[in-house]
């Protein structure tokens, strides 16, 4: 390989790994691979170990009609196909390594599929294998280039491991992206405000509840990628939380939850802790997680779950919620616009269905159904 060819190979390897991050570049990379190894078309395909199915994952230079014909009709006539599962990873073979070339020219596969594409030969390199399947790169040789030669075999052998590693990287990146996106969606559905910070106190991620808290600006606000408290009391607690988390000393000895108060007097439970890998993470990694929950006298309940669990009627559920909020029979009757005797009747049924012996027990039972997720906002509807 000349110096110019070595430089071309080096640039191509870089493009191959770039395609792992940006899938839109894959087609252009396969085109460059075809040019580098001396082929007219490149296909990456998967064959299962039982030889029952084949998947064409990527291709370049092949008309879609011939691609479909290969998959649906001619795949079993490919003389290289049965050798796929026997190939060592990165091993490259051409038709002449399997059968005499004149015999290949006489096959239906050559006459009906290879030759009509202006091609004369094929070469295959094994990319990856497992007990279940084999991944190979197949390159078609055009009539103008002639049959597969040693130079083509060597270049395919050189490029194959980089294509395989790029594919493995792409799978990992894809899996991580899906995981991060799914986790972000889950966090956005929680009513608790969650904010993740790096080692320098910059915001790495904030869920929807936290972003709304920043937008309201009653307790905390953002200045650039930093979080600032809106009053002295909250600022003192916030600084203490970060100092302890950053130092990692005395964390187990301090109380786990602090009470922060907003400028409007609303109370929030604040809890922060350092991540277990904080001392070894990169600068942009998550070092501290902060949780903030508004203190509510009447928390949001999963009323549908309570109703299903105890087979409550809409009226019984309505009375139960009023017990949590008000407590007294007369107050409940006044709010719901019903007689006190009706409230007592519903109360007796609630005791019977839930197993509670007093109203305080009903409140505790309801507290067990507090919803951790954000419920849709809107006007209250009678139940």
pLDDT of residue 383: 32
Delimiting residues of CATH 3.30.450.80 domain(s) in the chain: 3-176
Work out the pLDDT band at 24, boundaries 50, 70, 90: confident
Between CA 70 and CA 110 the distance in angstroms is 12
Strand partners, 190: 373
Q: Which two tokens stand for residue 244?
A: 């302890």
pLDDT of residue 226: 85
Is pLDDT at 279 greater than 60 in this prediction?
Answer: no
**Residue range 190-294 in CATH 3.40.50.300:** no
Region 31-58: mean pLDDT is: 84
Q: What is the pLDDT of residues 126-176, one digit of tens each?
A: 888 877 778 889 999 999 999 999 999 999 999 999 999 998 888 888 777
Is pLDDT at 313 greater than 90 in this prediction?
Answer: yes
What CATH topology corresponds to 303-368?
A: Arc Repressor Mutant, subunit A (1.10.10)
Region 171-192: mean pLDDT is: 80
In CATH, the architecture of 3-176 is: 2-Layer Sandwich (3.30)
pTM of the model: 0.52
Delimiting residues of CATH 3.30.450.20 domain(s) in the chain: 190-294
- Residues 229/219, Cβ–Cβ less than 8 Å: yes
Above pLDDT 90, what percent of the chain? 33
Work out the pLDDT band at 372, boundaries 50, 70, 90: low
Delimiting residues of CATH 1.10.10.10 domain(s) in the chain: 303-368
CA distances from 65 to 61, 74, 309 (A): 12, 12, 58
């Amino acid at each position: 390989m000349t110096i110019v060819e070595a430089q071309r190979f080096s640039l191509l390897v870089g493009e191959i790994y770039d395609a792992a991050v940006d899938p839109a570049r894959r087609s252009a990379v396969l085109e460059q691979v075809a040019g580098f190894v001396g082929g007219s078309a490149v296909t990456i395909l998967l064959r299962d170990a039982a030889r029952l199915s084949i998947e064409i994952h990527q291709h370049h230079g092949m008309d879609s009609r011939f691609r479909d014909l290969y998959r649906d009709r001619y795949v079993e006539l490919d003389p290289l196909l049965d050798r796929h599962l026997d190939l060592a990873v990165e091993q490259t073979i051409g038709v002449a390594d399997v059968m005499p070339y004149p015999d290949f020219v006489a096959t239906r596969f050559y006459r009906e599929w290879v030759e009509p594409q202006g091609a004369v030969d094929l070469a295959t390199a094994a990319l990856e294998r497992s007990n279940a399947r084999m991944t190979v790169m197949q390159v078609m040789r055009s009539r103008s280039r002639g049959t597969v030669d040693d130079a083509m075999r060597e270049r395919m052998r050189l490029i194959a491991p980089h294509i395989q590693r790029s594919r493995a990287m792409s799978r990992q990146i894809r899996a991580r992206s899906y995981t991060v996106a799914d986790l972000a969606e889950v966090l956005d559905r929680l009513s608790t405000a969650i904010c993740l910070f790096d080692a320098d106190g910059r915001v790495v991620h904030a869920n929807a509840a936290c972003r709304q808290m920043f937008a309201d600006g009653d307790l905390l606000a953002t200045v650039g990628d930093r979080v600032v408290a809106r009053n002295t009391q909250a600022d003192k607690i916030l600084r203490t939380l970060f100092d302890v988390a950053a130092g990692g000393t005395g964390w187990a000895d301090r109380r786990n939850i602090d009470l922060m108060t907003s400028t409007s007097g609303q109370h929030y439970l604040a809890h922060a802790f350092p991540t277990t890998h904080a001392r070894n993470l990169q600068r942009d990694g998550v070092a501290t997680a902060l949780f903030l929950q508004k203190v509510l006298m009447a928390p949001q309940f999963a009323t549908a779950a309570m109703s299903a669990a105890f087979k409550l009627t809409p009226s019984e559920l309505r009375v139960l919620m009023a017990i949590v909020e008000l407590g007294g029979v007369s107050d409940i009757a006044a709010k719901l616009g019903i007689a006190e005797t009706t409230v007592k009747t519903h109360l007796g049924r609630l005791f019977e269905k839930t197993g509670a012996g007093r109203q305080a027990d009903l409140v505790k039972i309801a507290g067990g159904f507090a919803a951790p997720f954000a419920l849709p906002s809107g006007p209250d509807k009678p139940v």
